[in-house]
Amino acid sequence: RNVLHWFRSKDLRADDNRALHAASQKAREGAGALLACFLFSPEDLEWHGTSPARVDFMLESLRLLQEQLEGLNIPLVQLTAEKRADKGETILGLVREHDVSHVFANIEYEVDELRRDLDLFERLGGEENGVQFVLHHDQTIVEPRTLTTGAGGPLKVFTPYHKAWLAEVSGDPSLLDTVPTPDANDKSVKSGDLKKLFGQPVPKVPESKQFPSTKDRDRIRKLWPAGHAAGMQRLREFLGDKVQTYAQNRSTPAADNSSRLSAYFSAGVISVREALGAARKTNGGSADFSQSGAEAGVASWVRELVFREFYRHMMAVTPHGSMNLPQNLKFDFVQWEADDEGWRKWCAGTTGVPFVDAGMRQLAAEAYMHNRLRMNVSSYLSRSLLLDYRRGERWFAETLVDWDLCNNTQGWEPSYTVFNPVAQAEKCDPRGEYIRKWVPELRDVEGKAVFDPYHRLSREEFDKLDYPPPHVDFKESKERCIQRYKQDMADA
Ligand code: FAD
């Protein structure tokens, strides 16, 4: 009987794919063929608000994956389930039609996805079908939920989690080992009953998920070339160069010194083991990434990947985080403002706060924003404007190429830390290069006035700029936020 690997939107690669590798071994044991599928659900995309940039990146990566697998005589069938609820039935249809004994997939940690898998688990395994559904952990090096406090509960704070993670990995470097690409199917697969599964048309992208123009599409594709080979090349280039100064420059957006690999990680186009295996080589072969300080480029980059692991762990520990609720449930009681003008200005990058506007314009142009700016624009929306943080979270999903539910919801998690975007700009963009790049109205503003032109230029000079005054006063808005949060959470 045949074996099926079901690719999800987070493991789009043939290399170092845990479930795919296990499926390949199972097929070889039973002398059946290995088949692969991807389920495209337009309703899923609408539900999550997935951006055209991410949809395109995903489908282009899938197209390359399909070519790679077909070279191994493994068909990758791209099915469409119009409704999210039809997914199980669609998989069952494929299983029945092609005499499948085992379905393999990698676990997705979000609640809806877990429920879908539980439902399918029962239906596949029932008497009528008798098919085994085998799920693997693949997205992280250390399995979510496994790192615990001395008392045995899950770790919920990043710093101790990071420490425990480092000890786990240096204690067992085999956690970084990768698995090989699947074995090729017998040639007969391409000429036999399964022949028709090859070379099938790719899914049709709903209009709402297409780029407004081919010019936009080409610009984004150039920034984020799809596929495993492109991701690995980017990884090699980063580790061969920028990682050395990562610790010093990671918060300086003008240096553009980070790896820009997030889109590849979030769609699973490259694996975190591939990344850390390569980082280990740069680290002189050692799996001890505990160095600190300005010299510790690799260790400081690995720390960011540990954040990614921590957020998956926290999603498993507090599942309501993927149900449109804050991790700290008290924040659900905050009464948000309905400032439509502020919302429109935030989206368009015309709030009158240069650092915030620069970030929002980078997002519009590149489907990506530097991490320091993500921190600032999210604080500005949910604290300075006091708009519901979920609106911003959704806007990010609708625009980012690297949208990832775990990283995004936890990046947006409300808190009392109100960033001062003028002070932040002075610290992280000291020469104003990032601002001048993205806000051309301010290109000719000299010196420190570029950080706050409304307050630092004469009225006459400011009026010549064609740039708006700040939508809110920072000091007043900060007081309003702290008071509102305190009061509403006390009432909760
Ligand atoms: P690098 O600095 O090179 O880091 C390497 C990798 O580590 C990244 O590719 C990413 O996978 C991971 N990483 C880095 N920083 C973080 C972080 N703070 N939290 C979790 N993982 C991290 N990241 C996403 O991948 N998708 C999102 O939708 C997303 N939304 C965010 C929303 C907000 C409000 C904030 C504050 C952060 C968000 N992040 C998100 C995290 C972070 O901003 C991006 O991962 C990072 O900017 C991507 O650039 P890079 O690949 O060059 O990162």
Radius of gyration for the alpha carbons in the chain, expressed in angstroms and rounded: 24
Is 158 close to ligand 1, i.e. is its CB under 6 Å away? no
CA distance 87 to 286: 43
Atom number in ligand 1 closest to CA 311: 20
| 8 A C-beta contact, residue 387 and residue 244 | no
- Centroid of chain to Cα 117: 21
Residues (pLDDT < 50) of the chain are none
| 8 A C-beta contact, residue 368 and residue 400 | yes
CA distance 116 to 136: 15
* CA of residue 407 to ligand 1 center, whole Å: 7
Atom number in ligand 1 closest to CA 392: 34
Residue with CA at minimum distance from ligand 1 atom 4:
304
Residue with CA at minimum distance from ligand 1 atom 15:
304
- Of 368, 245, 253, 371, the residue nearest 305 (C-alpha): 371
AA letter at 128: E
Residue with CA at minimum distance from ligand 1 atom 21:
308
Is 377 close to ligand 1, i.e. is its CB under 6 Å away? no
* Burial class of residue 127, CB neighbours in 10 A (0-12, 13-18, 19+): exposed
CA distance 120 to 101: 14
pLDDT of residue 293: 73
- Centroid of chain to Cα 321: 15
| 8 A C-beta contact, residue 478 and residue 353 | no
Residue with CA at minimum distance from ligand 1 atom 35:
411
CA distance 204 to 55: 11
Is 407 close to ligand 1, i.e. is its CB under 6 Å away? yes
Helices (DSSP H) in 283-353: which residue ranges? 297-317, 340-348
* CA of residue 308 to ligand 1 center, whole Å: 8
Residues near 444 by beta carbon (within 8 Å), at least 6 away in sequence: none
- Centroid of chain to Cα 399: 12
Task: Please report, to the nearest 10 degrees, the dihedral formed by the alpha carbons of residues 459, 464, 465, 467 taken in order.
Answer: 70
* Burial class of residue 333, CB neighbours in 10 A (0-12, 13-18, 19+): middle
Is 265 close to ligand 1, i.e. is its CB under 6 Å away? yes
Task: Give the mutation target among 250, 306, 371, 412 for probing the ligand 1 site: most ligand atoms within 8 A of CB.
Answer: 371
pLDDT of residue 85: 86
Task: Give the mutation target among 378, 388, 407 for probing the ligand 1 site: most ligand atoms within 8 A of CB.
Answer: 407
Residue with CA at minimum distance from ligand 1 atom 8:
262
**Tokens describing residue 250:** 């990671």
Provide the β-strand partners of residue 39: 79
Task: Give the mutation target among 300, 402, 415, 417 for probing the ligand 1 site: most ligand atoms within 8 A of CB.
Answer: 402
**Tokens describing residue 59:** 């489908």
User: What global pTM score does this model have?
Assistant: 0.97
Mind listing the domains of the chain with CATH numbers? 2-138 (3.40.50.620), 140-178+214-323 (1.25.40.80), 330-491 (1.10.579.10)
Residue with CA at minimum distance from ligand 1 atom 44:
371
Classify each residue of 163-202 as buried b or exposed e, where b means 16 or more C-beta atoms within 10 Å of its C-beta. Answer: ebbbeebeeeeebbeebebbeebeeebeeeebeebbeeee
| 8 A C-beta contact, residue 424 and residue 372 | yes
pLDDT of residue 294: 66
Q: Which residues are annotated as a binding site for FAD?
A: 246, 258-262, 301, 304-311, 402-404
Residues near 473 by beta carbon (within 8 Å), at least 6 away in sequence: none
Residue with CA at minimum distance from ligand 1 atom 33:
411
Is 307 close to ligand 1, i.e. is its CB under 6 Å away? yes
User: What are phi and psi for residue 2, nearest 5 degrees?
Assistant: -90, 165
**Which ipTM score applies to this complex?**
0.99
CA distance 403 to 390: 14
Strand 76-80 with 34-40, pairing = parallel
- Of 226, 238, 8, the residue nearest 112 (C-alpha): 8
